[in-house]
Chain A
Amino acid sequence: MTDATLFGLCAAVLIGLGLFGLIVHPQPLRKILAFNVVGSGVFLLLGAIARRGAGSGFGGDPVPQALLITGIVVAFSATALAVALLLRLHDVAGSVTLSSDAPKVVPDAGDH
């Protein structure tokens, strides 16, 4: 059982846990959090695959590792955009709920 396999299994558990959290939590911020856990699991899985590709004097296959750096940065930007949308929903509607029977937003002259 190598390090890579162990972290690959850990990543599989993370993805499952994140998926559960994404479905079960009603609050959008908890969903964003769970989605980030899924993202970390996917990155860890790719990292384990990169470790298995070690060779030619490198500790891991550099190509997937470089893709992971790109992935982590882009995942942060997606989270930032999601959080900005959530905060705007809160400012406009007063509550953060994704349920369909929420009170409709009444446009008023002041804010938006």
Chain B
Amino acid sequence: MTLLLTVGIAALIVALAIWTIVARDTMAAVIGFATFGLILTLAWVRLFGVDIALTEAAIGGGLTGALLIGAAAHLRKTEIAAHADRVGMSTRICAALLSASVTVVLVFCVLALPDPAPTLASQVAANIAVTEVGNPITAVLLAFRAMDTMLEAIVLVFALIGVWSLAPDNAWGGRPGLRHSADPNGILAYLARVLPPIGIIVGLYIFWVGADHPGGKFQGATIIAAMWLLVIMAGLADAPPISRKWLRIGLAGGPLAFIAVGAYGAFAAGAFLAYPVGFAKPLIIVIELALMPTLALVLALMLLGAPQRAIK
């Protein structure tokens, strides 16, 4: 019975992926991709990765889908011109053969995976008590592999700087995107008034509960970013100019706090990002509190894109 469920989810995922690739209209393909991300969430739950399911639903399905739908809407007029560039049949056949051979090689690899599967679960279980965190994934992200998380936060800020660098000269330091407007009596404006308080509470809860249960700062920050984006898209608030000081301080604060904790660890426990015994939980909380606003700001601003309007 449960195998049937798994087969069903896998078949649905493959069907949506096929739709995303072969659909003629780009908007249809993008919407198929957003749905694909959401069904993939079910696959993660079947694979006992509930934290990953939360992240996939929020970022993979939600934010990436919104980003691509916005881009597809913006590029609608170029669809017809693109048909002139279509590849010939011989390229298609070569591409199909290449893809099929890659798939076959990967199928062989999957079927040949070693049978007592090598795992680090026992090492995590042996050392998790010291970190005073109950969720093993949070322990890995913020204690055992904290360096990866720090570099990830820095990479996100770099990507945002890359997006900002694409501003036209006259809009440098200005507001991202165009001013959105929605019918003030319509459902979007209503939703943007009613949902954000609930969404912020849910986001903070998911952030806080991530210490011992599935959740964490990435998922929580995404929900808070989504609430801010909803308010902006309904026209109830405007995107801030990116040269504002509070924005810049919020973005730099998270990674700087993380580096500061790492330096403190080098000083007090002998290695960068090491935690002195008994200080693991407080330091983890400091890092998470500093990183939450940075992540929410980064994720929302990356979706809003490069500045388009100069500040007057």
Contacts and interface: CB of A to CB of B under 8 A. Distances in A.
Interface of A: 1, 3-21, 23-24, 26-27, 29-30, 32-34, 36-37, 40-41, 43-45, 47-63, 65-70, 72-81, 83-88, 90-91, 95-97, 99, 110-112
Interface of B: 2-3, 6-7, 10, 13-14, 17-18, 20-21, 26, 29-30, 33, 36-37, 40, 43-44, 46-49, 51-52, 55-56, 59-60, 63-64, 67-68, 71-72, 74-75, 78-79, 81-82, 85-87, 91-92, 95-96, 98-100, 102-103, 106-107, 109-111, 113, 117-122, 124-125, 136-137, 139-141, 144-145, 148-149, 152, 155-156, 159-160, 162-163, 166, 168-170, 216, 218, 298-299, 302-303, 305-306
A66 B145 contact: yes
B302 to A, nearest CB: 4
Nearest to A97: B85
Contact of A40 (B26, B40, B124): B40
B98 A23 contact: yes
B71 A29 contact: yes
B106 A45 contact: yes
A80 B303 contact: yes
Nearest to A63: B120
A36 B48 CA distance: 23
A70 B63 CA distance: 15
Given A12-B106, A53-B117, A69-B55, A32 B68 contact: yes
Given A20-B99, A80-B163, A112-B169, A95 B13 contact: no
A24 B152 CA distance: 32
A27 B27 CA distance: 12
A95 B81 contact: yes
A40 B119 CA distance: 22
B17 A81 contact: no
Contact of B82 (A17, A27, A34, A68): A27
B3 A1 contact: yes
Nearest to A56: B125
A88 B166 CA distance: 7
Nearest to A89: B166
Given A40-B17, A53-B119, 7 more contacts: A6-B3, A9-B107, A45-B106, A58-B124, A66-B145, A72-B60, A112-B168
10 contacts: A9-B10, A17-B14, A45-B106, A56-B124, A58-B136, A60-B121, A65-B137, A65-B140, A81-B159, A90-B75
Contact of B136 (A23, A29, A62): A62
A61 B74 CA distance: 41
Contact of A24 (B67, B72, B92, B302): B92
A10 B18 CA distance: 12
Top 10 closest pairs, chain A to chain B, by CB? A59-B48, A53-B119, A16-B103, A12-B106, A26-B85, A56-B125, A8-B110, A62-B136, A66-B140, A77-B159
Given A83-B68, A111-B170, A95 B78 contact: yes
Nearest to B92: A24
A53 B47 CA distance: 11
Contacts of A37: 17, 20-21, 33, 36
A68 B61 CA distance: 15
Contacts of A87: 71, 74-75, 166, 305-306
A55 B116 CA distance: 11
Contacts of B95: 19-20, 23-24
Nearest to B299: A76
